[in-house]
Structure 1
Amino acid sequence: MSEPTATLLISCPDQKGLVATFANFIYSNGGNIIHADQHTDFEAGLFLTRIEWQLKDFQLSRDMIAPAFAAIAKPMQAVWQIHFSDTIPRLAIWVTKQEHCLLDLLWRWQGKELHADIPILMSNHNDLQSVAEQFGLDFCHIPINKNNKIQQEARQLEVLRNYRIDLVVLAKYMQILTPEFISQFPKVINIHHSFLPAFAGAKPYHRAYERGVKIIGATAHYVTADLDEGPIIEQDVVRVSHRDTVADLIRKGKDLERVVLARAVRLHLQNRVLVYGNRTVVFA
């Protein structure tokens, strides 16, 4: 869309008249809805929706939309966010030594598939500094071990603040973030090389091979204090057989990791993911 749009992501207790109420807010202010999707989680008693409309001819200025909608949302006990399509999020990609997910994201970004600015690449090793230079990114090397983790995470947070980062993407960053870090910067997406919840933690391909699985997968999820248990955004699988070695599983898994992480980042940037509890609704 060449014209800017606004998007509301809303979750609230299910009740009558919600669709009409939200649509009328936009209609009564001169807005034209171009996308609307919804889901009701009957067990949780929650209604979840994504509504996108054109800002052209909308009668409320951008800074007035949130307070105006808040007056409607409060009696409904709604949790909500508003996003504008011409606001460009700023991403920081974190890596260790593996480059396959990093390169895939940067190629897609260079090809205008990802609506974002990526000003910095951060790593606990120097191995991928040349990739940052190739794509014109700043490179920040912050080595981390178990003895300096708290101090180094403070440095990482400072870098994120200085670069005004909105989202961190862990593209095979082989360090566990502390709960303290996540509490201060919760917008983090990770790629895990298994079909979670199976084989969480380290060396999932080795454990999958030992178990003799017939499919392997990859999972992109938001990071929480519980290792590999955050809300899942995207997953995919590929078949394997008894003829495949661990190396074959790793090779096939890397292909999945690239695609799954890219899909998850794109969905997040398009404001299509709504988190509630430890689950997500993805309005794809």
Structure 2
Amino acid sequence: MTTDTTVSPTEHVLTLDCSESPGIIHAISGFLFEHGCDILDIKQYGDTAQRHFFMRVHFSSGSSSSPAAGAVQQTFSTDELRRDFTPVAEQWQMNWQLEPQGRKRRVLVMVSKMGHCLNDLLFRTRTGDLPVEIVAVVSNHPDQQGLVEWHGIPFFHVPVTKDTKPEAEARLLDIVDRFDVELVVLARYMQVLSDELSNRMAGRVINIHHSFLPSFKGAKPYHQAYERGVKTVGATAHYVNAELDEGPIISQQVIEVDHTYTPDDLVAVGRDAECAALRNAVRWHCEGRIVLLGNRTVILR
């Protein structure tokens, strides 16, 4: 009689950063070997100027190619892997996260009147192109309610004025807590978040700015670009912080233009750049590819 010892592999992603030091890669690969894991994809980067190390490892456990040939293979749960990796992380003073590969992050999208970025995110979520679950949409205008509800997603109309901003942000935080939101995406949400809210949700809010930052910050960047006679327009997805349009940049897209483009033409062609930059930023964040280093990002692709 034969005993079937085959165990279906499970896949995880480990993302980490720490001060540069000899032996880090050996410690990580040793941990994976001891847990019968196969590395499927690995990205690493050592910033020599900052003496800082970054790594993203996509691995499987319980695979048939485990080194202990013929032995009963064990598949470790996410909690078990986190528990066992904690001493390694503490030894090297790592910032780290370990997640199941493909886990869908719970995302709240905020929008005002323009719906092109929202529509792109909804479509790509619905088709499975993005590893997210859009759990709610919040808007200071009712214009996109029909589109959102057609997708079967809760829509919250939260008007904002100068006098009601604190109450509106309190309601937003209530929605974030109620829906267990992991990431907030500002998909052309034309309101500035307060410093308090920005600091409270640091690293968890992504904004799309319709300009190639750091140029043309603030309102009507396409009109500013027109006045300067630019030959490219673009869009920048960045994390939100307390400084307007100054958060760490994640993704940028550009489109070539010329002197014949009016401000309205620039707005129209810029929409494609905005959608592309924003979806890239959301994808990389949710796939565990982004590591923050001060006001910079390292993208482990």
TM-score range, shorter chain: over 0.9
2:227 to 187, 195, 210: 210
Conserved in 2, the CA contact under 8 Å of 1:92 and 1:118? yes
Conserved in 2, the CA contact under 8 Å of 1:31 and 1:58? no
Q: After TM superposition, list the pairs within 5 Å mapping 1:174-189 onto structure 2.
A: 174-186=190-202, 187-189=204-206
Identity across aligned pairs (percent)? 41
Match of 1:127 in 2: 143
Deviations 1:120-158 (A, max 9, x none): 111011111111121111110111111111121011100
Are 1:101 and 2:107 counterparts?
no
Conserved in 2, the CA contact under 8 Å of 1:89 and 1:116? yes
RMSD: 1.5
Are 1:63 and 2:79 counterparts?
yes
1:15 to 14, 21, 32: 21
Are 1:279 and 2:293 counterparts?
no
Match of 1:25 in 2: 31
Are 1:138 and 2:157 counterparts?
no
Q: Displacement, 1:217? A: 0.9
CA distance, structure 2, for counterparts of residue 126 and residue 3 of structure 1: 46
2:181 to 165, 170, 195: 165
SS of 1:49's partner is: strand
CA distance, structure 2, for counterparts of residue 118 and residue 175 of structure 1: 20
SS of 2:259's partner is: coil
Query: Which deviates more, 196-205 or 69-78?
Result: 69-78
SS of 1:226's partner is: coil
Q: Displacement, 1:59? A: 5.3
Conserved in 1, the CA contact under 8 Å of 2:10 and 2:75? no
Deviations 1:191-233 (A, max 9, x none): 0011111111111111111111111110111111111111111
The change in CA–CA distance for 1:203 and 1:223 in structure 2 (over 3 A counts) is same
Q: After TM superposition, list the pairs within 5 Å mapping 1:20-99 onto structure 2.
A: 20-56=26-62, 57=73, 60-99=76-115
Instruction: For structure 1, list consecutive stretches of 5 or more residues without a partner in the other structure.
Output: none
Are 1:5 and 2:21 counterparts?
no
Deviations 1:252-276 (A, max 9, x none): 1111101111111111121111112
Q: Displacement, 1:58? A: 5.4
Query: Which deviates more, 100-109 or 85-94?
Result: 85-94
Conserved in 1, the CA contact under 8 Å of 2:135 and 2:153? yes
Q: Displacement, 1:65? A: 2.1
Match of 1:195 in 2: 212
CA distance, structure 2, for counterparts of residue 254 and residue 86 of structure 1: 28
CA distance, structure 1, for counterparts of residue 149 and residue 39 of structure 2: 42
Are 1:244 and 2:250 counterparts?
no
CA distance, structure 2, for counterparts of residue 212 and residue 81 of structure 1: 45
CA distance, structure 2, for counterparts of residue 231 and residue 215 of structure 1: 22
SS of 2:244's partner is: coil
Conserved in 1, the CA contact under 8 Å of 2:14 and 2:57? yes
Match of 2:278 in 1: 261
The change in CA–CA distance for 1:3 and 1:254 in structure 2 (over 3 A counts) is farther
Aligned amino acid, residue 128 of structure 2: K
SS of 1:227's partner is: coil
Count matched residues: 283
Instruction: For structure 2, list consecutive stretches of 5 or more residues without a partner in the other structure.
Output: 1-7, 63-72
Are 1:228 and 2:234 counterparts?
no
Deviations 1:18-64 (A, max 9, x none): 11111111111111111111011111110111111113355543223
Are 1:111 and 2:127 counterparts?
yes
